[in-house]
Amino acid sequence: MMENGDYAVQYGEESYMEQEEEWEREGLLDPAWEKQQKKTFTAWCNSHLRKAGTSIENIEDDFRNGLKLMLLLEVISGETLPKPDRGKMRFHKIANVNKALDFIASKGVKLVSIGAEEIVDGNLKMTLGMIWTIILRFAIQDISVEEMTAKEGLLLWCQRKTAPYKNVNVQNFHLSFKDGLAFCALIHRHRPDLIDYSKLSKDNPLENLNTAFDVAEKFLDIPRMLDPDDLQNTAMPDERAVMTYVSSYYHCFSGAQKAETAANRICKVLKVNQENERLMEEYERLASDLLEWIRRTMPWLNSRQTDSTLAGVQKKLEEYRTYRRKHKPPRVEQKAKLETNFNTLQTKLRLSNRPAYMPTEGKMVSDIANSWKGLEHAEKAFEEWLLAETMRLERLEHLAQKFKHKADTHEDWTKGKEEMLQSQDYRNCKLNELKALKKKHEAFESDLAAHQDRVEQIAAIAQELNTLEYHDCVSVNARCQRICDQWDRLGALTQHRRQGLDEAERILEKIDLLHLEFAKRAAPFNNWLDGAREDLVDMFIVHTMEEIQGLIQAHDQFKATLGEADKEFNVIVGLVRDAEAIVKQEQVPGGLVNPYTTLTADAISRKWSEVRALVPQRDQTLANELRKQQNNEMLRRQFAEKANAVGPWIERQMDAVTAIGMGISGSLEEQLHRLKEYEQAVYAYKPSIEELEKIHQAVQESMVFENRYTHYTMETLRVGWEQLLTSINRNINEVENQILTRDSKGITQEQLTEFRSSFNHFDKNRTGRLAPEEFKSCLVSLGYSIGKDKQGDMDFQRILAVVDPNNSGYVQFDAFLDFMTRESTDTDTAEQVIDSFRILASDKVIFTGINITYMEHALLIFFYIKQPYILPDELRRELPPDQAEYCIQRMPPYKGPNAVPGALDYMSFSTALYGESDL
């Protein structure tokens, strides 16, 4: 507030009466000026009084009681004056006028020679002087251009706005405006759609003046305050009247400029909010899609159900490989994009002073990371189970085939044995025949005992199949039970037949020793032949070179025994030849038939030939398996050689990317360039990973389950590859966000380098984060003053709450950078947005107590109030359509006092843009 007496100096004006006296002494005072002032000042007062629903007709009479004068001051100032006196006596009127004059004086205005009595008495000159003083204080005081006085500032504004126009040269507020072109130029400069300036002529001043005044009144809501005839018929128009009218132009157009500026600021803020909402919606969509995919995939990975066949498990293994090769890689990229979008969104929110984005419950980045980690654990467990199940089922198939082979061999041997044991043929035999039958039976018992081991093997294999949960255990158990039951019956029948033979032995004693010897030697040799033949065709399964070499060694040992077997064969055949010679020599009836055994020399010879023929076949089978294991060994070495190259390469790239991410050297653009070069190099290296995957698939298809030549597994290399891609994307995103922060905040590269080097200096372990004490030391190193007293600790805790809102115990670099840039720069605030909306909304006048009886000198009380609301039409008029509708849809209704229909609360809307909000 200026002290009394300072007002005239401030605005380059002497008091009204002093200037009038000076002009009269110099002979410059024109009587027509008073008429012009009366018209102009009356129109100016009515332009404000109409807001209160009233007006004046005679300026020297209508202000005499002080009521409308007080009302005028309330309307133009927006303040409430003291309550007027209710009386109609002269002293009541003087009191009311004095209240108005005191209010004017309280605004720093010096009223020289103007008293309440002159106004009450209707003194026109004094009344005009008072109104001019009010106009200066409330209409011209706020006009300031380049620190000039109000009059000089208004003149400079007119000069600048009309400079481009032909025939216009504004030098003063009287002669420069006589031809009307200056008024038309001011209108055309701001509203070219209202006047075609090219059609105006300096030779038609009255037409020019009427054009300007009509357009201003009709389209700009500026009432006619000047008379064109008065301006033309006066040698020098009154500059006070012209200044008053010109000031209305200034306020009209400067208000439009303020509204445009306010609208631009609001558009900028709303555009930021709309983009942030789009990023939030995209994050929610991507997060929901990724989490839903993980949710659908987990039951498949956790399933351990198969059809219990090797083919079924191998089909599942191929499905898993297809999943890793085709279905998962796009989700890895989706996860990286999700993290990148989230970081970019948070950076934009910080840069625009918005609160941090909190995703929907269950969709935090940590939730997605946990779900992804669970997916990777499930993948590893699923693959391990598939491989283990493959080995188990392969073992089961081998055992099942072995069971079938041994069971077939045993059942072939037992065919007819029950009928033979149940026969009563020994009752009608001769002695030698009976003894032959007995010896034959003894040979059978020896053979039966020799087959006991095979039955036990069959039972043992069946038991192992049950233990390993073979899918067709029912049929295996049934067949094993039939064999065991039959074996028990054979044992019982054998015992029963022996008893019969022992009883008949008392009658028949002669035994053919030669045949008996043959039978005794032929039976075990025959069993050995059967065992050897069974071993030579026995199926096997191996996984290592050591196992196949062991089988080859055992086979070589078997071949070393063939010489002794050949000697035994010759002995047995020799017995048969001796028997044939004795029978021929002695002419023994039926002597050629060996009563002790069913074996013949031909049968032994045939089996012996089969065994010798199976030996080279076994050699070939073992050789084939040896080549297979040698191929597996080659696959192991191929995988190891490639993995031992890929693994260290990934580790080196990870170290290099981490070093760049620390920002140790180079500008942000250089770091971004190097990161993108690494990204290209990584994608160029992808064929090596794919080649390794092919080798890995060949290794698995060859049933190779261990590799002693490398400590790398395909799973560890896959995880390392995905981590490398994720690290590159994350670091690129962080550097881009730092560039965005630097450019949007206006910080220099030197400042950014200083922030990064200080942060790295205290980040001893290169973790990308600082503990609270390390963060405090970093701030101190950058010149930030933090006291060691209690107040300093409180200040530091407030800073920590900003940079670590989740109370994690660490300060990340992006939060540190955001804090340091906010300390150095300025951004838009909620208060600025509120001021912008207030300009667009303009001022609302509300009358809360009206009691008008003008002719009877009744009291009139008004209140001028600025309301914190805006109407939809105002938003649509001032803002682009999409942003206007954006505000209308999100602004809550205004529920304060005197609210009009459709009023919107722009204050709470602006505050919500910078606070916790669902916008």
Q: 171 near 162, Cβ under 8 Å? A: no
Mean pLDDT, residues 4-23 taken together: 49
Mean pLDDT, residues 279-295 taken together: 91
| Burial 829-847, CB ≥16 within 10 A → b, else e | ebeebbebbbbbbeebbee
**Of 592, 711, 567, 733, nearest in space to 651 by CA:** 711
Joined tokens for residue 376: 């990777």
How much helix, strand and coil, in percent to the nearest 5, is found in the chain? 70, 0, 30
176-185, 215-224, 502-511: which has the minimum mean pLDDT? 502-511
Mean pLDDT, residues 827-839 taken together: 78
State the pLDDT confidence band at 296, using cuts at 50, 70 and 90. Answer: very high
Q: 22 near 213, Cβ under 8 Å? A: no
427 pLDDT more than 80: no
14 pLDDT more than 60: no
Tally of CB atoms within 10 A around 767: 11
Q: 431 near 510, Cβ under 8 Å? A: yes
Joined tokens for residue 370: 């946990």
Give the pLDDT score at 847: 40
- Three-point CA angle 652, 655, 658, nearest 5°: 150
Q: 521 near 599, Cβ under 8 Å? A: no
275 pLDDT more than 70: yes
Between helices 16-25 and 124-135, what is the axis angle to 10°?
120
pLDDT digits (tens, 9 = 90+) for 235-252: 888 888 898 889 888 888
289-298, 456-465, 574-583: which has the minimum mean pLDDT? 574-583
pLDDT digits (tens, 9 = 90+) for 385-407: 888 878 877 777 888 888 888 88
State the pLDDT confidence band at 210, using cuts at 50, 70 and 90. Answer: very high
CA atoms within 13 A on the CB side of 205: 13
137-151, 343-357, 558-572: which has the minimum mean pLDDT? 137-151
**Of 848, 689, 817, 803, nearest in space to 747 by CA:** 817
pLDDT digits (tens, 9 = 90+) for 89-105: 888 888 888 888 888 88
Cα distances (Å, whole numbers) of residue 424 to 12, 479, 593? 155, 30, 19
Mean pLDDT, residues 59-76 taken together: 86
Rounded CA gap, 540 and 551, in Å? Answer: 9
Q: 265 near 832, Cβ under 8 Å? A: yes
Specify the DSSP class assigned to residue 904. Answer: B
271-275, 597-601, 746-750: which has the minimum mean pLDDT? 746-750
Joined tokens for residue 79: 């303040």
Rounded CA gap, 79 and 570, in Å? Answer: 139
| Amino acid at site 840 | L
State the pLDDT confidence band at 589, using cuts at 50, 70 and 90. Answer: low
3-state secondary structure of 275: helix
CA 672 vs. chain centroid, Å, equals: 21
Give the residue carrying structure tokens 């509203």: 191
Mean pLDDT, residues 887-894 taken together: 90
Highest mean pLDDT pick, 18-22, 326-330, 570-574, 830-834: 326-330
Q: What is the mean pLDDT of the chain?
A: 80
How does DSSP assign 21-78, residue by residue? HHHHHTT---HHHHHHHHHHHHHHHHHHHGGGT---S-TTTTTTTSHHHHHHHHHHH-
Give the pLDDT score at 708: 83
| Amino acid at site 606 | R
Rounded CA gap, 383 and 412, in Å? Answer: 43
Mean pLDDT, residues 477-505 taken together: 83
- Three-point CA angle 551, 557, 561, nearest 5°: 140
Q: 879 near 263, Cβ under 8 Å? A: yes
Query: Residue ranges of the alpha helices (H) in 506-561?
Result: 513-536, 545-560
pLDDT digits (tens, 9 = 90+) for 119-173: 888 888 888 888 888 887 777 776 765 556 778 888 888 988 898 898 899 999 8
Give the pLDDT score at 377: 93
Listed in sequence order, the residues at least 6 apart from 3 whose beta carbon sits closer than 8 Å to its beta carbon are: 108
Backbone angles phi, psi at 223, to 5 degrees: -65, 155
Give the pLDDT score at 757: 75
Rounded CA gap, 746 and 823, in Å? Answer: 12
Rounded CA gap, 582 and 512, in Å? Answer: 11
pLDDT digits (tens, 9 = 90+) for 454-479: 888 889 988 888 887 777 888 889 98
3-state secondary structure of 853: coil
Rounded CA gap, 340 and 344, in Å? Answer: 6
CA dihedral 156, 158, 160, 166 (to 10 degrees): -140
Give the pLDDT score at 426: 65
Specify the DSSP class assigned to residue 174. Answer: S
Give the pLDDT score at 857: 35
pLDDT digits (tens, 9 = 90+) for 853-869: 333 333 333 333 456 78
673 pLDDT more than 80: yes
Give the residue carrying structure tokens 């035999």: 429
Mean pLDDT, residues 23-51 taken together: 76
Q: By CB neighbour count within 10 A (0-12 exposed, 13-18 middle, 19+ buried), where does 624 fall?
A: exposed
595-599, 653-657, 781-785: which has the minimum mean pLDDT? 781-785
Give the pLDDT score at 856: 34
Give the pLDDT score at 819: 78
3-state secondary structure of 879: coil
524 pLDDT more than 80: yes
Residue 893 pairs in a beta bridge with 904
- Three-point CA angle 204, 206, 209, nearest 5°: 110
Q: Are strands 769-770 and 811-812 parallel, antiparallel or unpaired?
A: antiparallel
CA dihedral 410, 411, 415, 419 (to 10 degrees): 90
How does DSSP assign 618-676, residue by residue? HHHHHHHHHHHHHHHHHHHHHHHHHHHHHHHHHHHHHHHHHHHHTT-SS-HHHHHHHHH
Cα distances (Å, whole numbers) of residue 876 to 337, 366, 871? 37, 43, 9
Percent of the chain with pLDDT over 90: 9
pLDDT digits (tens, 9 = 90+) for 213-237: 999 999 888 888 888 988 888 888 8
Give the pLDDT score at 6: 37
For CA atoms 712, 713, 717, 719, give the dihedral sign: negative
Give the pLDDT score at 477: 92
State the pLDDT confidence band at 373, using cuts at 50, 70 and 90. Answer: very high
